Amino acid sequence: MSQIKVMDENLSNKIAAGEVVEKTSSVVKELVENSIDAGSTSIEISLINAGKDEIKVKDNGCGMDREDAKNCFLPHATSKIKNENDLYFISTLGFRGEALPSIASVSEVVMETCKDKESTKVIINGGKIENITEGSITEGTVFTVKNLFYNTPARLKFMKSFYSEQGSVVSLIEKIALSHPEISFTLKSEDKEIIKTTGSNDLLKTIHEIYGYQVSKNMEYIKGENLDYEIDGYVSNINVVKSTKKDMITIVNGRIVNNQYLNKVIKEAYHTFLMIDKYPITIIRINTDPTIIDVNIHPTKQDIKFGKMDSLEELLFSLIRDKLNGIENIKIAIDRDEEDYEYDLNEGLILNDDINSKLNETIIKEDKPKPIIEEQVINFYAGENEEIYNATTSKEEKPTLIHPVGLAFGTYLFAQDDENVYMIDIHAANERINYERFLKELKELKITTTDLLVPVTIEFTKAEYDKLLEKKDLINELGITFNEFGTNTIRITSHPTWLLEGYEEESLKRIFDLIVSLDKDFDRVKFNEQLSINLACKMSVKANTNIGIDEQEVLVNRLFKCSFPYTCPHGRPTIIKYSLYDMEKLFKRKVNE
């Protein structure tokens, strides 16, 4: 007797629901995406008991006639693709025809829809159509889902708490609203309004409506294109940082996607600007020819495959990195480990615009080279034509209006100007100075080298030794000359002049360690950056090191000559500012007005 049977329609829909409908937010996602595809300009979502008891989605889209209202609940019924070729030109959010029959199979559904003044009401319980009558609405569609998973108790048992389920829906609607700022979204829970956007088609305004003023004023606009992709959107500067990557939002052809590789590219663009366990807020819109991407690789369509990924990576990375490097007078605040730091920049703890402009003016006026102070205390690696400033000059000749006033715990430098007090982490500041110096030297086309009077010999394992020989051309490009010297040993006869005197061997070992760790996809830009970070960390003055007033003055001057003085290469803040007004508030000399 034959044992293979064709499953009935209701059973197959329940199985499909296991992939498409995981929780209340899955239902909301599918219904809202249908509303967007229907051309809606206003979408309202209402929840009862976080959607477990009832989910209602109302839109003003094109609606359906009676025949379509009935057929939309059939498996794989869709108006969005007609044949196989349409799979390569998908421009809608939905296309498989699985969502509505899957939702209907595990809930009680009432749908009212209207098209050309023809209103239809469909009632379905557990996937079976019970009644089709004339509806009462005059436009769009109202989709009501009740008692989700009532007939699949195993799935119902795994539903999460009220706040967890509601939080998933809130997060989803926030992202969808950001992906479609031209649509007005309203989310209510127990008749209480949680989210409201105006549908202004202004992405920054929508960011303000979702995240608030403190985030929106710290977002930076990016825009660019190449032959394959167009990118625009907003990325946060370093004043607004999150502890998770959930606010790194990527939108491809209007679809929210969660692609790990794109998240990695974005995070790498923030390298040296943020600490390794901190993440930015980004809302990035990518538009491309539908034939370059494949959206049909994941049951929930949350991930896609990209063709010409190298082209996308290069454009995305450069747009974010160039924007971060180009921000002028950025306001820096203190890093708080215990919470996401989103600051009121009007309340201090920032570097204000006036200071930067004064610094620029004063440094330009300074034209007299000053003697170099002892490098063994703070290693600034001054070039032949670079100036190192000395604190012994007169007040009028000082290169900055900020002057040091002392150290605390041998780690934190206090400085002040006429209106502010600054706390500077001497190790982080010195790291930033050295990092930018090394990076500049590594970018030079012509590298100055020096011969060693006594060559340095270093022994490696066999695997490391072979890797170094393989990368000999790269090592020579860095200004390092070596030859084989016995078993698994090399002898270095020259090195670049920017290596710190007395630390040559240690620096060379760090360089070789990094080269040995290189993978096959070698990127010279990333290599230069990582090498600069490694060397800068080791060669910078350590915490609990008491430095004199001369060294303090040089540290301040050199830090503010950096292109980005506000964080160390690991993303930690270098500067914290308190204004005079902040200090007077702390000491109760002023009260809040």
Ordered domains of the chain (ranges, CATH): 9-196 (3.30.565.10), 203-326 (3.30.230.10), 341-437+542-586 (3.30.1540.20), 446-539 (3.30.1370.100)
Token digits for 89? 């030109």
Instruction: Judge residue 418's burial from the number of C-beta atoms within 10 Å of its C-beta, 0-12 exposed, 13-18 middle, 19 or more buried.
Output: exposed
516 sits in the region (left: phi over 0; alpha: psi -120 to 50; else beta) called: alpha
Tell me the pLDDT of the chain averaged across its residues. 78
Q: Please check the confidence at residue 225 and state whether its pLDDT lies above 60.
A: yes
pLDDT digit string (tens) for 86-128?
Answer: 455 555 665 555 778 888 888 899 999 999 889 999 999 988 8
- Reference 93, options 81, 104, 111, 107; nearest CA is 81
Once rounded to an integer, what is the mean pLDDT over residues 370-391?
35
**What CA–CA distance (Å, rounded) separates 41 from 215?**
26
Output the CA–CA distances (angstroms, integers) from residue 181 to 184, 248, 296, 418, in the order listed: 7, 17, 25, 45
Say how many C-beta atoms besides its own lie within 10 A of residue 220's C-beta: 16
pLDDT digit string (tens) for 441-483?
Answer: 888 777 888 888 888 898 888 888 888 888 888 888 888 998 8
pLDDT digit string (tens) for 326-338?
Answer: 875 444 443 333 3
- The pLDDT of residue 84 is 52
Residues near 580 by Cβ (< 8 Å), separated by ≥ 6? 419, 420, 421
Of these ranges, 164-178, 382-396, 536-550, 556-570, the one predicted with the greatest mean pLDDT is 164-178
**What CA–CA distance (Å, rounded) separates 542 from 411?**
8
> For residue 380, what pLDDT band results from cuts at 50, 70 and 90?
very low
Token digits for 259? 């692609």
Once rounded to an integer, what is the mean pLDDT over residues 494-505?
82
Q: Please check the confidence at residue 529 and state whether its pLDDT lies above 70.
A: yes
Q: Which is higher by pLDDT, 224 or 17?
A: 224
**What CA–CA distance (Å, rounded) separates 181 from 201?**
5
